[in-house]
């Protein structure tokens, strides 16, 4: 058995593609440039370095982690501004990393959610029952659309058909929109009008519960970044590739390598801010253009005391207009700190990003005061994300608009000319838009690179 096959086998047997440095190949003289120190870039870099390549990671920000970003601005209250959860811990490589490094996690029980109506009244038992019925109806109808439609359409189109065929009161319609917003728009970061119904059936999931990191997701980043040569604040502008290798120009320097792993977020690829020469193949350019970059933003509010119920994991708000402060994570439930995390996604999030901080806080407080009374105190502090405006993300995570599918993502992932290898959440056909998907895509790109040696 060839040495590298042996290493791969060990990696497979130990459940990790990352083999310890002492087992490294003696390939040595090949230099690989990795663009982006998010989880995909770190996974690829760590793997390739452990296999014996010389690896340099080029990262535009002043930190590693990308869309995993723990703010430590508030003493003793680390807050995740990007990813929060490991979605499904059973055999999930991120959960395995957490376990291996004794990183504490806490389960989220999505059922443990208290929901409030537009006028502030808490849901009654019959409201919860109605919501559950609509949830079943929507699941059934979306399932029938996936099975029965010849052509892909948006989820909004399917919803319009339901609303045309059923007598639905205004209050019930609000409930349906609440469900579609919190269950679909928040998960896919896209408006139901922009989201493919067929995409609901794409991809896979790990089983088991979802967990958060009370002490921050960046602990996972630290584990992977340790020992890597990461050049921070190097904004890649130009990537040239050809028979002689790869030349990458940043705003500071020029790097020469034999091959490169590109983990730029879809939003950055779409923006054209990084130029490729020769231009990327048409199929890849079409995939970059056709896939969607979605938006999910967060607002953390810290209060003088906890004025909301401490028991639920989540608080829901069936707002008058779809998606306005519809979902809150009760941080107090996990850490005891008087902090609430409000999410907004898709169209509402795009509107919110245009507001000033004060307007955002006022709007969020109006919702909380409807839910919990006008006496609710003003927050002592806040932290707000604007992922669409972030120049090194230009959105939160990718989604599939109608007419795109797993093949579109495969085109985005495909290597180019034996020189460029692509990773990142948008290239993960099985686990798009997740940390574990991005991580696994980094391992896949490392394997592809190795296999084309």
Ligand X SMILES: Cc1cc2nc3c(=O)[nH]c(=O)nc-3n(C[C@H](O)[C@H](O)[C@H](O)COP(=O)(O)OP(=O)(O)OC[C@H]3O[C@@H](n4cnc5c(N)ncnc54)[C@H](O)[C@@H]3O)c2cc1C
Using CB under 6 A as the criterion, which residues of the chain lie in contact with ligand X when the complex forms? Answer: 35-41, 58-61, 66-68, 82-85, 87, 235-236, 263-265, 268, 274, 296, 298, 385, 387, 392-393, 396-397, 424-425, 433-435, 438
Cβ distance to ligand X smaller for residue 397 or 399: 397
Least Å distance between CB 388 and ligand X?
10
Q: Which residue is nearest to ligand X (CB)?
A: 38
Minimum Å gap between C-beta 81 and ligand X is 7
* Nearer CB in complex with ligand X: 7/228: 228
Least separation in angstroms between residue 96's CB and ligand X is 14
**Least gap, CB of 391 to ligand X (angstroms):** 7
Nearer to ligand X, 92 or 370 (CB): 92
Q: Which residue, 11 or 40, has its beta carbon nearer to ligand X?
A: 40
Choice between 84 and 113, CB closer to ligand X: 84
Pick the closer one to ligand X by CB: 4 or 386.
Answer: 386
Q: Which is nearer to ligand X, 315 or 393 (CB)?
A: 393
3-state SS, the chain, equals: CCHHHHHHHHHHHCCCCCCCHHHCCCCCCCEEEEECCEHHHHHHHHHHHHCCCEEEEECCCCCCECCCCEECCCCCCCEECCCCEECCCCCCHHHHHHHHCCCCCEEECCCCEEEECCCCCECCHHHHHHHHHHHHHHHHHHHHHHHHCCCCCEHHHHHHHHHHHCCCCHHHHHHHHHHHHHHHHHHHCCCCCCCECHHHHCCCCCCCCEEECCCCCHHHHHHHHCCCCEECCCCEEEEEEECCEEEEEECCCEEEECEEEECCCHHHHHHCCCEEECCCCHHHHHHHHHCEECCEEEEEEECCCCCCCCCCCEEEECCCCCCCCCEEEEHHHHHCCCEEEEEEEHHHHHHHHCCCHHHHHHHHHHHHHHHHCCCCCCCCEEEECCCCCCCCCCCCCEECCCCCCHHHHHHHHCCECCCEEECCHHHCCCCCCCHHHHHHHHHHHHHHHHHCC
Tell me how far, at minimum, the Cβ of 217 lies from ligand X, in Å: 8
Q: In whole angstroms, how close is the CB of 393 to ligand X at the nearest point?
A: 5
Least distance in angstroms from the C-beta of 250 to ligand X: 7
Of 116 and 397, nearer to ligand X (C-beta) is 397
CB of 13 to ligand X, least distance (A): 26
């Amino acid at each position: 058995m060839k040495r590298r096959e042996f290493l791969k086998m060990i990696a497979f047997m130990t459940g990790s593609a990352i083999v310890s440095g002492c087992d490294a190949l003696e390939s040595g003289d090949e230099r690989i440039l990795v663009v982006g120190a998010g989880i995909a870039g770190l996974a690829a870099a760590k793997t390739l370095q452990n296999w014996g390549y010389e690896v340099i990671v080029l990262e535009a920000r002043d930190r590693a982690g990308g869309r995993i970003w723990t703010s430590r601005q508030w003493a003793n209250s680390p807050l995740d501004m990007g990813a929060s959860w490991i979605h499904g811990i059973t055999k999930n490589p991120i959960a395995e990393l957490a376990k291996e490094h004794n990183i504490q996690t806490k389960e989220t029980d999505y059922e443990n959610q208290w929901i409030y109506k537009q006028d502030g009244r808490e849901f009654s038992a019959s409201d919860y029952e109605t919501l559950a019925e609509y949830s079943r109806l929507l699941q059934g109808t979306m399932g029938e659309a996936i099975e029965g439609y010849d052509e892909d359409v948006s989820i909004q189109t399917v919803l319009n058909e339901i609303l045309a065929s059923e007598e639905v009161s205004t209050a019930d319609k609000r409930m349906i929109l609440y469900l579609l917003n919190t269950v679909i728009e928040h998960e896919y970061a896209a408006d139901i009008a922009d989201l493919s119904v067929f995409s609901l059936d794409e991809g896979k999931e790990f089983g088991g519960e979802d967990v958060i990191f009370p002490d921050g997701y960046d602990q996972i980043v630290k584990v992977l970044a340790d020992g890597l040569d990461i050049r921070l604040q190097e904004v890649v502008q130009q990537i040239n590739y050809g028979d002689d290798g790869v030349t990458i120009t940043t705003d500071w320097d020029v790097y020469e390598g034999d091959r490169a792993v590109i983990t730029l977020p879809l939003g950055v690829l779409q923006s054209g801010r990084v130029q490729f020469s020769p231009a990327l193949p048409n199929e890849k350019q079409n995939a970059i253009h056709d896939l969607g970059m979605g938006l999910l933003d967060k607002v953390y509010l810290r209060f003088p005391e906890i004025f909301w119920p401490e028991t639920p994991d989540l608080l829901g708000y069936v707002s008058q207009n779809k998606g306005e402060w519809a979902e809150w994570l009760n941080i107090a439930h996990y850490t005891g700190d008087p902090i609430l995390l409000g999410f907004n996604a898709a169209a509402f999030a795009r509107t919110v990003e245009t507001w000033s901080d004060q307007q955002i806080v006022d709007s969020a407080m109006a919702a909380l005061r409807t839910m919990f009374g006008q006496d609710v105190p003003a927050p002592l502090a806040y932290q707000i994300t604007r992922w669409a405006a972030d120049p090194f993300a230009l959105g939160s995570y990718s989604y599939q608009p109608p007419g795109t599918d797993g093949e579109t993502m495969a085109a985005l992932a495909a290597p180019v000319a034996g020189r460029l290898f692509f990773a990142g959440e948008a290239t993960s056909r099985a686990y798009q838009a997740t940390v574990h998907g991005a991580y696994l895509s980094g391992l896949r790109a490392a394997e592809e690179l190795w296999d084309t040696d």
